[in-house]
Amino acid sequence: MLALTAIHDVMKNELLLPTVQETHARYRSFEAGTAINDHDAALAYVLEHYGACLPSYAALSEAQKAAILFTQAEISFNHGWLVQAEAPPGELFSQFKKIIATQRIRPPDIAFFFVHWLTDLAGAEPTPLCGSEKFVLRFPHALLHSFIESFSFVEKLADQSETEVYEEYLQWRWRQISIGIPEMGDPPTGNYAVALMRLVVAAQIGPIQKEVLRAFNEELAVRDQYVLSHEMALSAVPSKPFRTSPAEKEGVTMGPAFLIYYAPQFIRTAGEKRQTADGLSILAEVYRQARQIWPLSAERSGVTVTVRIDQMKDREPVSIQDGHQWGDGWLLVKRNEVEAAVEKRPLYTVNSRQPSFIFRLLCIWKRLPEDEEDDNSHFEELELLRMQQETAGTL
């Protein structure tokens, strides 16, 4: 750890940045003859090909070198996506799992990675005479606690699938939350289980977590419950579905799955404004229209499509729902094959006979109670028919 601390930011000195040699091209996204301007990638390049240039690293054993090299690996792991249950397990863990398998990473190396993460974050804003101000003053203690508690689960990737680790983590978080909110009881089971656990974990704050559970069970329309439970239970890991999933059977997975970027922040905003059910309904509509653009197929079971809701995340649901009264609409716009974004646009822009973009209009305006009852009744009939067909083997 001392050796890594000495070298881990050395490439922030631009004079030391290495140039990719012909024999090593292409290195990550850098071609031969190109200076590696990402300081982490630059250090990884030197460690892999010119480790002797760094005496404190060169003097270590091969096992210790491997642990340090792993901290610089391109693992594409977003820790916030885990502690907020924001991403499906495939998008969250697959690259991490691949590196573990190909480099024969051991659980102690994963533990070392997370200790490095803590030290790196602690020193991100150096205050040598005032201690670790980053952690003490500028980092929410509850969030830091969630990060630290999750470390031991990620270590299990060495021996378990991405989906297994994710599901264990969700169930453990539910039990931890229920200590402060006893009425939550044991982790849920059945078709809604994964969605409920992900939504409650995403809420982060005790009173909002309790309200999410109540709003889902008591206020949310049946059709929205179904959409959330179906979409949030797609694993994005081929042949590794959740144990409790209405969308996938044992050994069979479908895709693409969706990562609704900033969904946790949107849920918290809705909870703070006491509009949780409306927020969950809007979230369900985003999933619903995304599925219209990207239909389910077994061939895309390992794919994740990212849907950004940046423009929504800090708005209260009522203001979003009322926007159409002023001629505005919320569109889900396809950016490319794996990305989309929710955008607020004047409704007249959808009148073009040949629009220059692929989009879906989100139906998120307020509905009358009798409309909801009709929708639920019709949906329940369709869902009963679907289950009957599936049982008969005709679907």
* Residues 68-95, mean pLDDT to the nearest whole number: 91
Handedness of CA 113, 115, 116, 117 (dihedral sign): positive
* Residues 297-316, mean pLDDT to the nearest whole number: 94
Q: Residue 104: its pLDDT value, please?
A: 80
Please report, for residues 145, 234, 312, the alpha-carbon distance to residue 237 in angstroms, rounded to integers and kept in the order given.
Answer: 28, 8, 28
What's the pLDDT tens digit per position in 44-69?
999 999 999 999 999 999 999 999 99
Exposed/middle/buried for residue 347 (C-beta within 10 Å: 0-12, 13-18, 19+): middle
- 288's enclosing H/E stretch is helix 276-293
Quote the tokens at residue 59: 């003097």
What's the pLDDT tens digit per position in 96-113?
999 888 888 888 898 899
Cis bond before residue 238 (omega within 30° of 0): no
Q: What's the angle, vertex CA 50, arms to CA 48 and CA 55, rounded to 5?
A: 110
Q: Among 266-275, 293-302, 385-394, whose mean pLDDT is lowest?
A: 385-394
pLDDT band at 201 (very low <50, low <70, confident <90, very high): very high
Contact 46, 18 (CB under 8 A): yes
Q: Residue 378: its pLDDT value, please?
A: 52
pLDDT band at 124 (very low <50, low <70, confident <90, very high): confident
Compute the mean pLDDT over every residue in the chain, rounded to the nearest whole number: 87
391: three-class secondary structure by DSSP: helix
- Please enumerate in sequence order all residues whose Cβ is within 8 A of that of 216, keeping only pairs 6 or more positions apart, or say none: 192, 195, 196, 199, 225, 228, 280
Quote the tokens at residue 78: 């977003």
pLDDT higher than 70, residue 384: no
Q: Residue 388: its pLDDT value, please?
A: 47
pLDDT higher than 50, residue 117: yes
Q: Which residue has the higher pLDDT, 123 or 70?
A: 70
Q: What DSSP state is assigned to residue 15?
A: G
Q: Residue 79: its pLDDT value, please?
A: 87
Q: Residue 160: its pLDDT value, please?
A: 93
pLDDT higher than 60, residue 380: no
pLDDT band at 197 (very low <50, low <70, confident <90, very high): very high
The structure tokens 């030290």 sit at: 119
Query: How far is Cα 298 from Cα 316, in angstroms, rounded to an integer?
Result: 36
Contact 289, 362 (CB under 8 A): yes
Handedness of CA 270, 272, 277, 278 (dihedral sign): negative
pLDDT band at 119 (very low <50, low <70, confident <90, very high): confident
pLDDT higher than 60, residue 391: no
pLDDT higher than 70, residue 246: no
What's the pLDDT tens digit per position in 22-37?
999 999 888 999 999 9
249: three-class secondary structure by DSSP: coil
Phi-psi region of 251 (alpha: psi -120 to 50; beta: other; left: phi over 0): left
* Residues 322-332, mean pLDDT to the nearest whole number: 84
- 41's enclosing H/E stretch is helix 39-49
Q: Residue 385: its pLDDT value, please?
A: 47
pLDDT higher than 70, residue 375: no
Phi-psi region of 239 (alpha: psi -120 to 50; beta: other; left: phi over 0): left
Q: Residue 247: its pLDDT value, please?
A: 62
For 182-238, give the secondary structure using H, E and C.
HHHCCCCCCCCHHHHHHHHHHHCCHHHHHHHHHHHHHCCCHHHHHHHHHHCCCCCCC
Task: Report the Cα 198 to chain-centroid distance in Å.
Answer: 10
pLDDT higher than 80, residue 367: no
Query: How far is Cα 281 from Cα 88, in angstroms, rounded to an integer?
Result: 20
pLDDT higher than 50, residue 390: no
pLDDT higher than 80, residue 279: yes
Q: Residue 155: its pLDDT value, please?
A: 87
> Per residue in 123-156, is it b (16+ CB within 10 Å) or e — as a string?
eeeeeeeeebebeeeeeeeeeeebbeebbebbbe
What's the pLDDT tens digit per position in 334-359?
999 999 999 998 887 776 665 677 89
